[in-house]
Chain A
């Protein structure tokens, strides 16, 4: 059973990773927390669900969920971060809290507060791999997350835009002087961050059987915990952090009891904040 639970944990964790990456991108770039990120994830899930219910194939729902969430994320930047650049550093934070609540209420208006179920049209096939039984859904989720994370990693390290993003992260003024369009980089970062959250949303809806407009709250928190454990601003750290938390959560439910679940996860969060705030893999230092 242990191997099987490990796979469950990795599957869950990969959705957490996608969310954590989004947080970390914005954190690394602007040294700010986007509290609305969890609700961007939620919106992506609902958009994907709506299109899936129109009997569109899964990959199409995924793309639409990602694109839609990306756009919502850009809106967050436009309304919560950009106008408050010169304000107190808590300004954007509070603003994103409000925006998040707004998103929850908009979602409730559109889709209702009753749980929405993902259509059970995709036939689930089971594959026996050694002692472990993997379902087609688990494969889809793990594969999609892996592809997205690897793509993200390559994008940031190899492409020009990726380099521009890292430069802006390190020092926005210098980057600007060197010809980087800082504003565009910021918008792009938010879009990518949102798109990943949207992907996480659609995949989560597949795992979770049903979604409500308020799932973003807990998912957002878990994403934050994963980010801290991995290392603030550290992309690879966020990926590992998310996977770790997924595995811990599943192992807890399997071997201990559901009551300890959040206690352990958030307990870990506090321990890291107190004793190793730079996370497992270190934070990205801003040089200014």
Chain B
């Protein structure tokens, strides 16, 4: 009799204990998102010479926030975006980052735009221990020099060049090439002098201009001397380190002097309306980009839809109507931050701000296989991993050559 009672009591105690244990909140629940909102910052140029692209980036960032909030935010908590203007210069950029980090207490920052601005804000981000994901910055080594909190969701030109050169060679059977390079504009100069020569050599193409490309200055008004020189070398094709408007003039003058060879360059060629302004002269010109509206994936379509919807009520105007790849990178950056929040158990508790920011940094450091619109994550030095899409001018517009 005593035995049975003891047994029942034992079972009862064990059951109660089990019930009690099972009713303990799960470990994840104990760290579920606190607060009314999750704050994200964007430091982009709304004024200054970068105003047009900065506004597009702001719209792209906000569009991502819209999409995420429409799905219920993160564990039910909405995102809130704070935008501060870097005014396209380093001084204001620093102010913008400080305001976002210290006043608005955001958890991570999308931006800045321009290497020159990032050079000032990246070190500051390390001091404040907050992540910055720049969406436009091509100066080599910038993220590498500012570990661990600096990230650039951009693709360095050498990776774009490699893909374009490969397709260019295949299409036109290029064996020897001549290069013309801008000596003034930093981006164009870098492409012409540092990026294209090794890219060609890596594919076994002879660079007729060697280490001395034919040179010009940005916005030069005439190219007769340069084209005559290029022509005399008799290349199979020509590589350009030039911005869109200059490239347009170079190709036009070349056709004038009777050159029929094809031209190629990297991403900067997409600005300046070459297909529309160049006519027959520019048909068959090759370039590359990490994203264009031609890339028809579900993610891309979602981005375009969200962007266009947001653009109706934010910075509406002719220069923000059509998204280019900068707002795409900003869009992806927000999603990367949110993925970090979820996977690293960010609490969004105001006491945990520093650890939360650090968690985001740690996640992005090892993110290699993100599934974004045009982003796959970051490499070991904090630069972006992306696919390259090679395109050519055909029928007065850019058309994809091959999608990877």
Contact = CB atoms under 8 A, between A and B. Distances in A.
A33 to B, nearest CB: 24
Interface in B28-42: none
A124 B256 contact: yes
A254 B217 contact: no
Contacts of A133: 257-258
B221 A258 contact: no
A105 interface: no
A112 B229 CA distance: 33
Contacts of B258: 126, 133, 135
B215 A1 contact: no
B215 A259 contact: yes
Given A1-B232, A209-B253, A8 B224 contact: yes
Nearest to A117: B277
B226 interface: yes
Given A133-B257, A253-B215, A254-B229, A120 B224 contact: no
Contacts of B253: 209
A135 B232 CA distance: 16
A65 to B, nearest CB: 17
Interface of A: 1, 4-5, 8-9, 11-12, 115, 117, 120, 124, 126, 133, 135, 137, 204, 207-211, 215, 249-254, 257-259, 261
Contact of B256 (A5, A137, A250, A258): A137
A209 B217 contact: no
B286 interface: no
Contact of B249 (A1, A8, A209, A253): A209
A4 B232 contact: yes
Given A1-B228, A8-B225, A135-B257, A258 B183 contact: yes
Nearest to A1: B232
Interface residue tally on B, bucketed by range:
20 to 34
Contact of A209 (B183, B215, B222, B232): B222
Chain B's interface: helix, strand, loop or mixed, by majority? helix
Nearest to A210: B249
Nearest to B221: A208
12 contacts: A5-B225, A8-B224, A124-B256, A133-B257, A204-B221, A208-B222, A250-B225, A253-B216, A258-B216, A258-B226, A259-B183, A259-B217
Given A209-B252, A258-B183, A250 B224 contact: yes
Interface centre among A117, A209, A261 (most CB of B within 10 A): A209
Interface in B56-102: none
A261 B217 contact: yes
B245 interface: yes
Contacts of B380: none
Interface of B: 183, 212, 215-217, 220-222, 224-226, 228-229, 232, 245, 249, 252-253, 256-258, 277, 279
Contacts of A209: 221-222, 249, 252-253
User: What are the nearest 5 A-B pairs in CB distance?
Assistant: A253-B225, A1-B232, A258-B215, A8-B224, A250-B225
Contacts of A251: 225
Contacts of B256: 124, 135, 137
A215 B219 CA distance: 11
Contacts of A211: 221
B279 A120 contact: yes
A118 to B, nearest CB: 10
Nearest to B215: A258
Contacts of A252: 225
A5 B228 contact: yes
A220 to B, nearest CB: 14
Contacts of A11: 224
B73 to A, nearest CB: 44
B158 to A, nearest CB: 23
Given A209-B222, A258-B216, A258-B220, A4 B249 contact: no
B356 to A, nearest CB: 47
A1 B229 contact: yes
A211 B249 CA distance: 11
Contacts of B279: 120
A208 B249 CA distance: 9
A4 B258 CA distance: 13
A30 to B, nearest CB: 30
A236 to B, nearest CB: 25
Contacts of A261: 217
A12 B183 contact: no
